[in-house]
Structure 1
Amino acid sequence: MNAYLIALKAIIGREAFRFVSQRGRFIAALVRPLLWLVVFAAGFRAALGLSITPPYATYITYEVYIVPGLCGMILLFNGMQSSLSLVYDREMGSMRLLLTSPLPRWWLLFCRLLASTSISVLQVYVFLAITALYGIRFAWYGYIALLPALLVAGVMLGALGLALSSAIKQLENFAGVMNFVIFPMFFLSTALYPLWKMAESSELLHDICAFNPFSHSVELIRFALYGQFNGIALIWTGLAGLIWVALALWGYDPARGLVRRSGK
């Protein structure tokens, strides 16, 4: 057990040091959602009407609606950024060195996943502190209930990054694969528009958004901010996370993934 904890501390410490030393990464993670909140939301406010739907008990502004989606954006982009660092570590050889540890492979990947998720959660709370200064605030219990929702959503999106990193062979291929994943997941979700609004445009788009695991992670965050529990969102988010964790473990299996590719 002591060896497990030492590995957990070392991996989280390494990721924390990398995060602190890369201030541009922290700033970029905040600028992106703030740009949507301040600039794009101002333009969409007049064009997009919102009805009273759970968890809201009254009409809200568009800025209030997209805050949970922007929290999900931070988790999504940071999960993909973490997968980029995994591809880099694999090319530099440090990832192969890590996976030669006598500890179980699933524990090492879990430590990496927990480290990236912890950083994502920290970024989300900093973003919410800025939105509070901007005038968008939630009840105190909402910020507490938000923590487990962020952890579940962060692990799910981080596991997706792990699974993708096991399939990306070269760092140069990262941008194309990430854009193919990030933007469809974000725009075809409830992060920016409610499902009923998508149904007005296209039933197909509505069904895609309803099936998208990122939509359910956003709704899990949205309900948590109001101190409410969304069981369906939790089930879908957890199920997607389990599937992607299994794919990541399969991809990093020496008999199938990392070792076989590195030997080519």
Structure 2
Amino acid sequence: MSGWWGVLRAIVGREFLRYIHQRERFIAALVRPLVWLFIFAAGFRAALGLSIIPPYQTYITYEVYIVPGLCAMILLFNGMQSSLSLVYDREMGSMRLLLTSPFPRWWLLFCRLLGSTVISVLQVYAFLAIAALFDITMPALGYVTVLPGLILGGLMLGALGLVLSSFVRQLENFAGVMNFVIFPMFFLSSALYPLWKMAESSPLLRNICAANPFTHVVELVRFLLYAQLNMGALAWVVVSTIVLSAIAVWGYDPARGMMKRRSA
């Protein structure tokens, strides 16, 4: 067990060291959701009325509504950025060397995934702290109960990034693929507007949003911020995490995924 723990500590520690030496990453991760919170939300506050929907017990401002979606946005962008660095590591050879160690491939990928998830969660809490300074707050207990949801959501979105990185050969191609994944997932979700609002304009788009795994990450975070559990969202996120993790492990199989293409 000491060997397994050593691998986990080494990989997660490497992610933290990389994060510490790339402070612009921390700033960029906060600037993006803060722009949405203070500029986008201010413009839509009057145009988009919100009724009382679970988990809210009263009418809320639009800024309060989009906070869970922006928390999930941080998880999404950081998971993809971590996978982008994984493609770079693969091209430089460090990831290929890592996967030749005697430890199971799934454990090595999990350690990498956990490291990026922990960093994402820290960024989310930094964002929530800044929002609280501007009187955009959640119930005090919610800041504690949301932690498992953030971890699970980070693992799911990080696993999605691993899947993409395992089937993309070059760094330039992965950056393009991210644009076809991040923005549709974000906009076709409940991050910016409730699903009932989407149903008013297009039932088809509403159904697409409801089937989007990112929507369920948003709703899981939203309910946990109010110390409530959305079982449907939890089930979607757990199943998606398992499926995406299995595909990522398969994609990094030397006989099928990265190694085979690399040797070719």
Deviation at 1:259, TM superposition (A): 1.1
Question: 1:133 — aligned with what?
Answer: 133
Distance 2:134 2:201 in 1: 32
Distance 2:241 2:28 in 1: 26
Q: Deviation per CA, 1:213-257, whole angstroms, max 9, x where unpaired?
A: 000000000000000011000000111111110110010001101
Deviation at 1:210, TM superposition (A): 0.4
Alpha-carbon contact 2:55-2:222 (below 8 Å) kept: yes
Question: 2:77 — aligned with what?
Answer: 77
Q: Deviation per CA, 1:17-75, whole angstroms, max 9, x where unpaired?
A: 00010011110000000000000000011110101000001100000000000000000
Distance 1:201 1:195 in 2: 10
Runs of 4+ in structure 1 over 4 Å off? none
Question: 1:25 — aligned with what?
Answer: 25
Distance 1:134 1:169 in 2: 44
Question: 1:56 — aligned with what?
Answer: 56
Q: TM-score, normalised by structure 2?
A: 0.99
Distance 1:140 1:196 in 2: 28
Question: 1:148 — aligned with what?
Answer: 148
Q: Deviation per CA, 1:166-214, whole angstroms, max 9, x where unpaired?
A: 0110001122100000000000000000000000110011000000000
Distance 2:38 2:141 in 1: 25
Alignment of 1:95-110 (within 5 A): 95-110=95-110
Q: Percent identity?
A: 72
Structure 1 window deviating more from structure 2 (86-95 vs 132-141): it is: 132-141
Deviation at 1:140, TM superposition (A): 1.6
Please tell me the residue identity of whatever aligns with 1:121: V
- Which residues of structure 1 form unaligned runs of 5+? none
Q: What SS does the corresponding residue of 2:141 show, helix, strand or coil? A: helix
Please tell me the residue identity of whatever aligns with 1:69: G
Deviation at 1:134, TM superposition (A): 1.0
Alpha-carbon contact 2:164-2:174 (below 8 Å) kept: no
Distance 1:179 1:134 in 2: 31
Deviation at 1:137, TM superposition (A): 1.0
Distance 1:123 1:54 in 2: 26
